[in-house]
Amino acid sequence: MRTSTLVKGIIVLVLAILWSCDNNQREVQDLVDPWLRERTPVAFKIEGQVGDPLIENNWRKDEEGTIKVTLISSAIKDLKNVKVLNLKLQYNATSTLTIGSTLDLSNGSDSFEVIAENGEKRTYVVTFDEFYEPIVGDYAVEQLWMYGGTGPEYGGGAVWPMMEKSWRWNVDGKPTAEEDNIISLILMGVNEETGDTYGISINDAGPDGMYASFVYDDRNWVKHDLKHFYRCIPEGEGEWEKNSKTGIITFISKDGVRRSCNLWSAGTYAFDEYNSITIENMAFNFPITEGVSDNWDVIWEDDAKYLWHPRNFVVKVTKL
């Protein structure tokens, strides 16, 4: 009798536990598939963007997120209308932003919503940091210099301001015409594979409205157009490229002429055993290698330096 009562008690207890578990299961909300709640963009790119975006969600507030990009703002015509070039979302998520639509980043940020398949929303605030290229900016031309000569190892070289022998430039547009010019380098893009940068160059003629003609009078007073040596920075608008590994800057004229240089900081630079130049602020140094030749008959004359074998053209500048 006691055994039967005990068995019945155990059965009742087990049934009570099972009923309790089943009831608790019915009271727990159904679990939601996490993919149905997914609202994080997997790709994002806008015009002028360099590299990948930093996409972060606010773990404290699931409905908030941020997207930070690096931007070349000078490559964008209108920061109020920055085009979306790529936007990929998870599964069946949708967005208030689409490829081809625009963001207004004129005040530094804008936002859009991503809606998950189950209807949950997350607002992403898009902000940007400016891409930094140190050569970008405006440069005031101070003075034009050159290094050249036949047999510099024998003392035939010289480092001169272009106007050292002023009578050699006996036409309008002497080298001094450049000394009020402003050279502007504007960044337009970066090769994301190599890191090389590129953009627009503007060589403004300044208040006198003139560029150097580089017409040279030789020792027999025959005129020579030496722009092929010394017109290294294009007149007016051109283009520039910078090699990210070597730092070499190449100016490109509208005619496709390419002239490469180093950007020197303040200091003294030796050209040979006897000749050096002091840069007070900054300078574009253009090696001259094409169309030159030694003329030993005029080794001690001006023509050997300016006309026959110029070796470097140096534009001294101050960055504004």
Q: Give the pLDDT score at 90.
A: 87
Residue 2 has pLDDT above 50, yes or no: no
Is the model's pLDDT at 27 over the cut of 50? no
pLDDT of residue 5: 57
Maximum distance among all Cα pairs of the chain, rounded to whole angstroms: 141
> What percentage of the chain has pLDDT greater than the value 70?
89
pLDDT for 34 equals: 72
Q: What pLDDT is stored for residue 277 in this prediction?
A: 98
| pLDDT for the residue 308 | 97
Q: DSSP E strands: which ranges in 155-244?
A: 158-161, 182-190, 197-204, 215-217, 223-225, 236-242
Question: Tell me: the pLDDT tens digits for 134-150?
Answer: 999 999 999 999 999 99
Q: Given a cut of 90, is residue 18 above it in pLDDT?
A: no
Token reading at 294: 């030694």
More confident residue, 187 or 5: 187
pLDDT grade, residue 218 (50/70/90)? very high
Rounded Cα gap, residues 313 and 260, in angstroms: 11
* One-character DSSP codes across 242-277: E-TTT--EEEE-TT--EEEEEEEEEEEEESSSS-EE
pLDDT score, position 28: 42
Do 237 and 196 touch, CB atoms closer than 8 A? no
Alpha helices by DSSP H, the chain: 2-27, 227-230, 302-303
Question: What is the average per-residue pLDDT within 78-87?
Answer: 97
Q: How far is 161 from 164, CA to CA, in rounded Å?
A: 5
Please give the structure tokens belonging to residue 22: 């089943």
Per-residue pLDDT band at 172 (split at 50, 70, 90): confident
Residue 31 clears pLDDT 70, i.e. is over it:
no
Q: How confident is the model at residue 15 (pLDDT cuts 50, 70, 90)?
A: low
Q: What angle do CA 86, 92, 111 make, to 5 degrees?
A: 50
For 311, phi and psi rounded to 5 degrees?
A: -115, -35
Average pLDDT over residues 260-268: 98
Q: What is the mean pLDDT of the chain?
A: 91
At residue 183, the pLDDT reads 98
Looking at the chain, which residues constitute the CATH 2.60.40.4120 domain(s)? 34-130
For 30-36, what is the mean pLDDT?
A: 65
Q: Give the per-residue pLDDT at 26.
A: 42
The arithmetic mean of pLDDT across residues 64-82, rounded, is 96
Q: Determine the CATH number of domain 34-130.
A: 2.60.40.4120
Amino acid at residue number 225: D
Of 206, 212, 208, which is closest to residue 306 (Cα–Cα)?
212
The answer, yes or no, to whether residue 316 has pLDDT greater than 50, is: yes
Whether residue 79 contacts residue 73, with contact meaning beta carbons closer than 8 Å, is answered with yes
Higher pLDDT: 225 or 23? It is 225
